[in-house]
A and B are shown apart, each in its own frame.
Chain A
Amino acid sequence: MLRVLLERWRQGHRTMPLTGTWSALPERYRGRPVLPTDACPPACTACVDACPTEALGLEGRHPVLDLGRCLFCPACVEACPLARLGFSRDPRLAVSRVQDLMLRPDHAPVLAERLDADMRRLFGRSLRLRQVSAGGCNACEADANVLNTVGFDLARTGIQFVASPRHADGLLITGPVTENMREALWKTYQATPEPRLVIAVGACAISGGPYRGHPEVLDGASGLLPVDLFVPGCPPHPLTLLDGLLRWLGQLEAVPTP
């Protein structure tokens, strides 16, 4: 018993503040991609050709990026002969409308909008989620689970993962949704009482990720269900998911900035 108490004292209080912690992310962390604002040389398609998931495209001579497909891998950065592409350390990426996933150099980034007042009244301070992995590789699952550790202490926001869809207000889906999980995911959705919310976490759940186009998958949760929140990443950093959830539930104003 004394050893436990001694260890408790040694470990200390390690719960992080809910916001403002992302400035501590290391310099190599690949957060929100940065696109060049001026035009690229004519006929250069190096970044588009290198992208494993066709996330990058060209509009005229400007690269545009679908955050829902992006694996946040360094392929495009390495491929650009002029080193015009990069990643910022900004982990805030979640959006609530599918069209907001498209990143264009001349558009200000859009983040998840607050749920409407009725939904916030229901779920703003208490949201129970059933997680369903449908072909996920256990990276998104692991970094969603990490929010339950004492470091993030998700429960203080009123958000909890629950065991049964019947106890849940929504589903948090990871993976490209395999054909073999289609029925199980659909039944889980049907078992969740209305009104219910659906969150797609990670490139796979948004677009199929690297598995896009495989006949074995449905190219993401939208192939089966209406999605209310999109959290890009491969996997999203826990702060990306946390920021998206709090922004969406309208909790961010209530949280004092440290």
Chain B
Amino acid sequence: MEAHLINGQALPLAELPVFEPGAWRARLAAALEAGDWLAAMLPTPTPGGARLVAVLASNLGRLRVLTCPLPTTLASLTPTHPQVHWFERELAETGSVAIEGHPHLRPIRADRSAEAPYYRLESPQLHEVAVGPVHAGVIEPGHFRFQCHGEEVLHLEIRLGYQHRGIERRLVGGPDRRTMAYMETAAGDTTVGHATAHALVMEGLMDLAVPPRAEVVRALALELERLANHVGDLGALAGDVGYLPGASYLGRLRGDFLNLTLELAGNRFGRGLVRVGGVGLDLEPARATRLAGALGRARGELEGVLDLLLTEPALQARFCGMGRLEPPRARELGLVGPAARASGLSTDVRRDWAWGAYRACQLPVPTWHSGTVHGRMWVRIAEIRASLAAVALWLGALPAGAARVAETTLRPHHLAVGLVEGWRGAIAHVGITDAQGRFAAYKLVDPSFHNWMGLAMVMRGEPISHFPICNKSFNLSYCGHDL
């Protein structure tokens, strides 16, 4: 029998069946073929020895955990199941497992001084373009290596790791007083998302029930984070094609949503708000009224600009057809978030593996069929409207009661999973405790971990001048990937 759990739940390690590596691999392959999505894969010490753990998000809101003794070698699943490719590269980089038969087994965060060679196409008619790690804008570092035939990009290799700060290594032996700071800065633009996923793991391991009021405040903050980032992304897209009304108005309106979070949390990115057991700062009626007023004003100013984006012919001409990711490709790569939904995949943690306030308040999950830059813009606009409605609803109907309950201790030898739909897509956290109730292993999977390959794929066949626009339409995290 396999072990099943729901989002935010913890299971004793003893209840996790241990398969032989061959059977583990076969079950993982079968689950992916049945439509499961691989949320996390990590090696961990357990009382019975080192294990390899795969967490699959399955149907009916279930999460499946597959474990096997940590093998010394593993036949790569990537050739048949591409969504495993980045996980296998990460696993190989830790040095614990040798992956055999992976088509491009390069490190994903390794020391930059010992770089593996890039994938190259050799022909006198081709040239290579190298960009980064220091880019032209105010943006994080990464390296992009394009293989080009004239203007046309034949292949893009994305090399990351420049932002590696050692978060996961340092979490082992925790939690401690720095833990929440790591969560809030793992990907700073997703402070609430990662902090909430961590809180779910901790509360699962502590067997703690969070008060409904705290669940609503967390959800409200998560939607404000989505609003600020989606609005900012739309402004950046408009700016990249020289549509200044969109860039100017949306750039300013993004700040309005950050200021709503500032009013709620005392910090424009929501730091200090989400705490284990609830929220560190309550939302009093007077503050809720002020937030609702400010939200209404921002909403009024936003609607007109969103209409401009959807009707301006110059924008449609640029965005429609650009950066296409076909739905089957998005599915096989395991894409998440707005990028997946713009390629027709109806997936959203808030609906499919609902937690907290989302169990009682279902947001619509907009999808678009084109998989293009326009699709990713359209999905963001639809999500902005859904989030605005949800925040307005919650501000008017906050549950009474406490905003936080006291922390207890972590149960020893347990595994807990926290999934959260951040603004970029599914965030997965997995915490595994040792005999003392300290972290034996902790895994953070930012949505960018799944989606960087999607960006590389959409560039094939595109003119290289489309890269900035395609890149903005994904707007992935470097630090969230590099950790």
- Chain A contact residues, CB within 8 Å of chain B: 3-4, 6-8, 10-11, 14, 25-26, 28-30, 49-53, 71-75, 78, 87, 130-146, 148-151, 161, 163-165, 175-176, 178-181, 183-185, 188, 204, 209-211, 214-217, 234-235, 237
B479 near A136 with CB under 8 A, answer yes
User: Which chain B positions have C-beta within 8 A of A49?
Assistant: 177
Closest to B182 in A: A210
User: Which chain A positions have C-beta within 8 A of B262?
Assistant: 25-26, 28-29
A3 near B162 with CB under 8 A, answer no
Instruction: Decide if B223 is an interface residue (CB 8 Å cutoff).
Output: no
B281 CB to closest chain A CB (Å) equals 7
Interface of A is mostly: mixed
Q: How many residues of B contact A (CB 8 A)?
A: 63
Instruction: Decide if B304 is an interface residue (CB 8 Å cutoff).
Output: yes
B234 CB to closest chain A CB (Å) equals 14
A209 near B185 with CB under 8 A, answer yes
Closest to A87 in B: B266
User: Which chain A positions have C-beta within 8 A of B280?
Assistant: 74, 78
- Chain B contact residues, CB within 8 Å of chain A: 109, 111-113, 133-134, 136-141, 161-166, 170, 177-178, 180-182, 185-189, 191, 232, 245, 248-249, 251-252, 254-255, 258-259, 262-269, 271-272, 280-281, 301, 304-305, 307-308, 311-312, 477-479, 482
A216 near B139 with CB under 8 A, answer no
Q: Kindly name the residue among B111, B138, B479 whose own CB sees the greatest number of chain A CB atoms within 10 A.
A: B138
User: Which chain B positions have C-beta within 8 A of A183?
Assistant: 112-113
User: Which chain A positions have C-beta within 8 A of B255?
Assistant: 146, 149, 151
B228 CB to closest chain A CB (Å) equals 9
A70→B284 CA distance, assembly (Å) = 27
A224 CB to closest chain B CB (Å) equals 14
Indicate which residue in B162, B251, B266, B304 contacts A7 across the interface (CB closer than 8 Å).
B304
Indicate which residue in A75, A134, A204, A209 contacts B141 across the interface (CB closer than 8 Å).
A134
Contact A73/B133 with A52-B180, A133-B139, A138-B189 known, Cβ cut-off 8 Å: no
A165→B135 CA distance, assembly (Å) = 11
A142 near B189 with CB under 8 A, answer yes
A28→B136 CA distance, assembly (Å) = 35
A146→B482 CA distance, assembly (Å) = 24
A210 near B134 with CB under 8 A, answer no
A10 CB to closest chain B CB (Å) equals 6
A142→B258 CA distance, assembly (Å) = 11
B140 near A138 with CB under 8 A, answer yes
A137 near B479 with CB under 8 A, answer yes
Indicate which residue in B166, B188, B272 contacts A136 across the interface (CB closer than 8 Å).
B188
B106 CB to closest chain A CB (Å) equals 15
User: Which chain B positions have C-beta within 8 A of A211?
Assistant: 165-166
B166 near A214 with CB under 8 A, answer yes
B138 near A139 with CB under 8 A, answer no
Indicate which residue in B163, B267, B269 contacts A181 across the interface (CB closer than 8 Å).
B163
What are 13 A-B interface contacts by the 8 Å CB criterion?
A11-B248, A28-B266, A30-B266, A30-B272, A135-B164, A137-B186, A137-B479, A146-B254, A180-B109, A181-B162, A185-B134, A216-B164, A235-B268
